[in-house]
Amino acid sequence: MPKISQRGEEMPQSPIRKLAPLANAAKERGIKVYHLNIGQPDLPTPQVAIDAIHNIDMKVLEYSPSQGYKHYREKLVGYYKTYNINVTAEDIIITSGGSEAVLFAFLSCLNPGDEIIVPEPAYANYMAFAIAAGAKIRTIATTIDEGFSLPKVEKFEELINEHTRAILICNPNNPTGYLYTRREMNQIRDLVKKYDLYLFSDEVYREFIYTGSPYISAFHLDGIEDNVVLIDSVSKRYSECGIRIGALITKNEEVRKAVMKFCQARLSPPLIGQVAAEASLDAPEEYSREVYDEYVERRKCLIDGLNRIPGVYSPVPMGAFYTVAQLPVDDSEKFCAWCLSDFNYEGETVMTAPAAGFYTTPGSGRNQVRIAYVLKKEDLIRALFLLAKALEAYPGRTN
């Protein structure tokens, strides 16, 4: 039998999805599973998007332009303007989700063997896309004890060498919920400028910031305009994960030309997804306000509840809808699997994502989980109760 590729062997398995068979088996046994493991919002998609899909007036569902519909991109310019992000329609390339935007950014800007500095823990697919591009992730550690804030600039410079090509951030952060401060963003800007690096900035959670601290986009940083590649998606802000519409935005014309070659090779981004995404820009203001208020309540419910469980600690996330929590367990991967295979309380259990999958440093995150607060408060309260019961019963509890 022929062997699979080295890339195929090295590609990491999703820490979010690899426990799915155990969850499915639990459900087949009649156990209800509360899913805190995946960032799939349960809030409704804007009705204007649903209506736009129902009312599509086309005789042929044809290819759209490889860079996405111009009328959608022009409409996005106004959306970004509300965040003081000044771009043109030509700066925007529509992609098949934010994930494709990351992959195309890597393929267009990096050579095999190039290195990207990424604060960890980080979204696991960054590692996968780097492998696909032949690049290498070099991680810089952030710690739960310091709320996942960035380390001093010297720690970054220790990693920079002749292979370093880029810094990648997610702001607000998945998986930690951390929001980078102006000082931290200026620190990154100075490094990008000093070493002439690309700055890949994943900003898909900008709608979800819960403190008085400002959202600092990479496009707000002076002097590195041609270094910035911004990654965006409608998946989270409009509960539209399934339509697979994202965007890659850069003022660097050479990067755009390269990205367009990959866009042409995959033909076009999803047509129906663009119809829904464009319509969503007309969602009433109360839609965004109600979604935001709901996540504020869920965040308080989850973080207060977690920190009341003996031995559990979670810092307060400042954005997105995730937190990384420390548990009194020997191994969170074993614990998460055990919750699905061996534990239930009154026919119910809880599913979280082992945080080790968001680290590349061996041994890191071993007693941590990522939790997404994407369930209504009543279900969050029940899930927290089940988590506490599971921790009481788990044979590998550490204190």
Q: Are residues 189 and 171 in the same domain?
A: yes
- Whether 1 is in a domain gets the answer no
- Measured between its terminal Cα atoms, the distance across the chain in Å is 48
Residues 145 and 212 in one domain: yes
The DSSP bridge pattern shows strands 136-141 and 164-170 to be: unpaired
Query: Tokens 């409009």 identify what position?
Result: 238
Q: How far apart are CA 383 and CA 377, in angstroms?
A: 10
Those residues whose C-beta lies under 8 Å from the C-beta of residue 388, and which sit 6 or more positions away, are 309
CA–CA dist 198, 251 (Å, integer) = 12
Cα–Cα nearest to 315, from 146, 121, 142: 146
Does residue 69 surpass a pLDDT of 90?
yes
DSSP H helices, 43-112, are 47-54, 70-81, 97-109
In a domain, 342, yes or no: yes
- Domain boundary among the residues 256, 280, 304 is at 280
pLDDT value at position 290? 97
Quickly state the pLDDT bin for 386 (edges 50, 70, 90).
very high
Q: Is residue 255, in this structure, part of any structural domain at all?
A: yes
The identity of residue 3, as a single letter, is: K
Q: What's residue 8's pLDDT?
A: 87
Q: Indicate the helix (H) or strand (E) that contains 303.
A: helix 285-308
Residues 258 and 380 in one domain: no
Tokens 């700055």, residue? 199
Tell me: do 254 and 210 sit in the same domain. yes
Q: Whole-prediction pTM value?
A: 0.95
Asked if residue 128 and residue 70 are part of one domain, the reply reads yes
Residues 115 and 233 in one domain: yes
Residues 192 and 242 in one domain: yes
Say if residue 102 is in the same domain as residue 251.
yes
pLDDT(67) > 90: yes
Cis peptide bond N-terminal to 121, omega within 30: yes
> What is the token pair recorded at 205?
């959670």
Question: Binning pLDDT at 50, 70 and 90, where does residue 102 land?
Answer: very high
Residue 269 is part of which domain span?
47-280
Q: What is the DSSP string of 331-354?
A: -HHHHHHHHHHT--BTTEEEE-EE
CATH code, 352? 3.90.1150.10
Taking a C-beta distance cutoff of 8 angstroms, is the pair 324, 355 a contact?
yes
**Of how many residues is the chain composed?**
399
Domain final position from 257, 280, 303: 280
Contact status, residue 124 vs residue 12, Cβ threshold 8 Å: yes
**Sign of the C-alpha dihedral computed for residues 30, 32, 35 and 36 taken in this order:** negative
Q: What does the pLDDT average to over 174-186?
A: 96
Tokens of 367: 């007693």
Judge whether 283 and 49 are in contact, CB under 8 Å. Answer: yes
Are 188 and 76 in a shared domain?
A: yes
CA distance 212 to 204: 19
- In the predicted model, is pLDDT for residue 73 greater than 90? yes
Read off the CATH number of the domain in which 228 is found: 3.40.640.10
pLDDT-based confidence at residue 163 (cuts at 50, 70, 90): very high
For residue 136, the surrounding DSSP H or E stretch is: strand 136-141
Which of 280, 301, 329 corresponds to the end of one domain? 280
**Alpha-carbon distance 216 to 186, whole Å?**
10
Same domain, 28 and 69: no
Per the domain annotation, does 399 fall within a domain? no
Do the domain assignments include residue 193? yes
* 217 shares a domain with 87: yes
pLDDT score of 13: 76
Confidence at residue 17, expressed as pLDDT on a 0 to 100 scale = 76
pLDDT in tens, 2-41: 999 988 888 887 776 789 999 999 999 999 999 999 888 9
51 and 38 fall within a common domain: no
Please name the residues in contact with 121: beta carbons below 8 A apart, sequence gap of 6 or more.
142, 148, 175, 176, 324, 355, 358, 359, 364, 365, 368, 370
For 281, counting Cβ atoms within 10 Å of its Cβ (0-12 exposed, 13-18 middle, 19+ buried), the class is middle
Q: Residue 319's pLDDT band (boundaries 50, 70, 90)?
A: very high
Query: What is the number of structural domains in the chain?
Result: 2
Tens digits of per-residue pLDDT, 125-142?
Answer: 999 999 999 999 999 999
- Please compute, for residue 336, the number of CA atoms within 13 A of its CA located in the half-sphere on the CB side: 30
Residue 98 has pLDDT above 80, yes or no: yes
- For 227-281, what is each residue's pLDDT tens digit? 999 999 999 999 999 999 999 999 999 999 999 999 999 999 999 999 999 999 9
Give me the percent of the chain exceeding a pLDDT of 90.
93
Averaged pLDDT, 164-191 = 97
As a whole number, the mean pLDDT across the chain is 96
**Preceding omega of 46 cis (within 30 degrees of 0):** no
Residue 251 belongs to a domain: yes
Q: How confident is the model at residue 399 (pLDDT cuts 50, 70, 90)?
A: confident
**Per-residue model confidence (pLDDT) at position 59:** 94
